[in-house]
Amino acid sequence: MADTVLLTGATGNIGKPLVQTLLSQGRSIKVLARDTDQIPSQPGVEAVKGDLADPTSLVQAFRGVDRLFLLTPLVPDMVKLGLNGVRAAKAAGIKHVVRSSGLGAMEEGIAIARWHRAIEKELEASGMAWTFLRPNSFFQNLFFQAMAIKGQSAFYTSLGEGKISLVDTRDVAQVAARALTEPGHEGRAYDLTGPEALNGVELAAILSRVLSRTISCVVISEEASKQAMAQMNMPSVIVDGLAELDAIGRAGYAAALSPDLSKLLGRAGRSFEQFARDHRAAFE
Residue 243 and residue 162: Cα distance in Å, rounded? 14
Q: Is residue 120 part of a domain?
A: yes
Q: Is residue 99 part of a domain?
A: yes
**Phi and psi at residue 7, in whole multiples of 5°?**
-110, 135
Q: Is residue 45 part of a domain?
A: yes
**Phi and psi at residue 8, in whole multiples of 5°?**
-100, 160
Range of 109's domain?
Answer: 5-196+254-283
pTM of the model: 0.96
What CATH number did the domain enclosing 259 receive? 3.40.50.720
User: Which residues, given as ranges, of the chain have pLDDT below 70?
Assistant: 1
Domain total in the chain: 1
Say what the pLDDT of residue 38 is: 84
Q: What is the three-class DSSP state of 17?
A: helix
> Which DSSP symbol is given to 253?
T
DSSP for 48-84, written as a single string: EE-BTTBHHHHHHHTTT--EEEE---SSTTHHHHHHH
Q: What is the three-class DSSP state of 139?
A: helix
Q: Which helix (H) or strand (E) holds 33?
A: strand 29-33
Q: Is residue 98 part of a domain?
A: yes
Task: For residue 279, give Cα distances in angstroms to 21, 35, 147, 165, 282.
Answer: 18, 29, 14, 19, 6
Say what the pLDDT of residue 1 is: 54
- What average pLDDT does the structure give for the chain? 96
* 98, 180 Cβ separation under 8 angstroms: yes
Say what the pLDDT of residue 37 is: 87
Q: pLDDT tens-digit profile of 146-178?
A: 999 999 999 999 998 999 999 999 999 999 999
Q: Is residue 192 part of a domain?
A: yes
Q: Is residue 225 part of a domain?
A: no
Helix axis angle, 169-181 relative to 15-24, nearest 10°?
50
Task: For residue 148, give Cα distances in angstroms to 106, 142, 151, 157.
Answer: 34, 10, 5, 12
Q: Is residue 202 part of a domain?
A: no
